[in-house]
Each structure stands twice: as structure tokens, then as C-alpha cells.
Amino acid sequence: MSAIRRLGRPPASSGVQTEARIIEAARRCFADLGYAATTNRAIAEDAGITTGAIYHYFDSKQALFERVFTQVEELVSERLSAAWRGAGDEFAHRMRAVLEASVVLNRDDASLARFLVTVPTECRRRPELAPLLGLLNGYQERVFGPVVDDGIARGELPADVARSTLLNVIGVVLVGLADVSANFSSPEQHAANADVVGRLFEGTLIPAPVSRVS
């Protein structure tokens, strides 16, 4: 949690800037405290505004959580999609680019990963948040669907594994990395973990067994 700042709305700040500060502060609070424990007071202190100012922009905690989710999902989707689109056609190269982009995102703002890994749990605990789970599934299809489709078409991915399973496995890998980073690892360790996963996708992590002639 950031240090306490002087409360109130700075004279030079615009409504857009204030709203952005509220969203950023809420993301940190939701990530660190959880949905239930996050209060307007905690968000206001982190954002450096009065508690009442939040109601000028968001009429409920649910609305604020949904806005944070939408912003984070859009940011991460755009960055990861841009990464693989600029990495050529090969599946392994695209996934390496995605992993490297995730490292940069984590170094720039670790609260992104900390927030995202809480979303499924919060959605299952809170019925009002449940629709966000469907959006998470859409995110996976939108970002990685083309990568999987091209990998299958190029013969780089096994044809006997269902497309949905391939997408799920990619999700497991990336969510697992984010979860470890959010709860146990430093940005440097996250980068090391991502590099090893990249080697796994490239087929260089586990050498092929050497046949022995008797």
C-alpha cells in the first residue's frame, strides 16, 4: 500500500485524472486486500482523495471492481496480442514474445498480476461478479485463439489434441506464472520462470533421450 498522501482533489487535476487515480488505487487495494476487505476509505487514502469523491465516479464497489477488471483485461490483452503479432509466424517464437511481454508488464506494475489472479476466486464467491468469468474466457480466446489456430495449421501443435485443450493449457501456464509471481516471486524470479517456460515451448528445456545401442 502506498504512503498516505494529502487528501483532497488537487486543483490542477481533471475529472479524468481523478478517475484514473481511483481505478489504480482500487486495483492495488483489491489485489492486496481482496474484494470483501477493500473499503472506500482504503481506496481514498491510496488515491489521495476524500472518500466522498469516489461516489462522483462509481456508485458501488461492484461497479468499481468491474471497471478495474475491464481496464486490466484490455491493457494485458493489447500488450500480449501486440507481442505475438510482432514475433513472426512460429508458435514457439510467439509464445516467447508473450512471456517476455508479461515480464515487462510485471516489472512496470506488479499489481496487474496480483489483481488478475484474484478474479476467478472473487467471481465464485460473489454471484454479482460471476459474469466476469465469461469475459475471462473470451479474453483467452481473443488473445490466444489465433496463435493456436496458426500453430495447428502449420503442424507445430498436435492435431490429436483438442483446440480447447490447447487453449486451456496455455491459460494454465500463464495463469500459473502470474499466480507464482503475485504471491511468491520477485520480478527477477518471474523473469527467470518465464524464460524457462519459453524454453519449454521451444523444446530446448528437456533434451531428447539419447538412444543407446547395446
Distances in whole angstroms, Cα of residue 138 to Cα of each of 62, 76, 90:
20, 13, 23
Instruction: Report domain extents, the chain.
Output: 1-59, 61-202
In the block, cell 483489491 appears at 30
* Among 23, 147, 134, CA closest to 81: 147
Number of other CB atoms surrounding residue 117 within 10 Å: 19
DSSP assignment letter at 40: H
Q: Does domain 1-59 have CATH number 3.30.70.20?
A: no
Say what the pLDDT of residue 184 is.
81
Q: The whole model's pTM is what?
A: 0.84
For the stretch 63-100, pLDDT in tens is 999 999 999 999 999 999 999 999 999 999 999 999 99
Distances in whole angstroms, Cα of residue 199 to Cα of each of 2, 36, 129, 161, 165:
36, 39, 37, 21, 21
Q: Is the predicted pLDDT of residue 189 greater than 50, yes or no?
A: yes
For the stretch 20-47, pLDDT in tens is 999 999 999 999 999 999 999 999 999 9
Sign of CA dihedral 177, 100, 17, 2: positive
Is there a contact between 38 and 29 (Cβ–Cβ < 8 Å)? Answer: yes
Estimate to the nearest angstrom the gap between the alpha carbon of 62 and the chain centroid: 19
User: What phi and psi values does residue 196 have, to the nearest 5 degrees?
Assistant: -65, -40
Q: Which residues contact 162 (CB under 8 A, 6 or more apart)?
A: none
Say what the pLDDT of residue 14 is.
81
Superfamily of domain 61-202: Tetracycline Repressor, domain 2 (1.10.357.10)
Crossing angle for the helix pair 131-153 and 91-108, to the nearest 10 degrees: 140
Is there a contact between 42 and 2 (Cβ–Cβ < 8 Å)? Answer: no
Say what the pLDDT of residue 12 is.
40
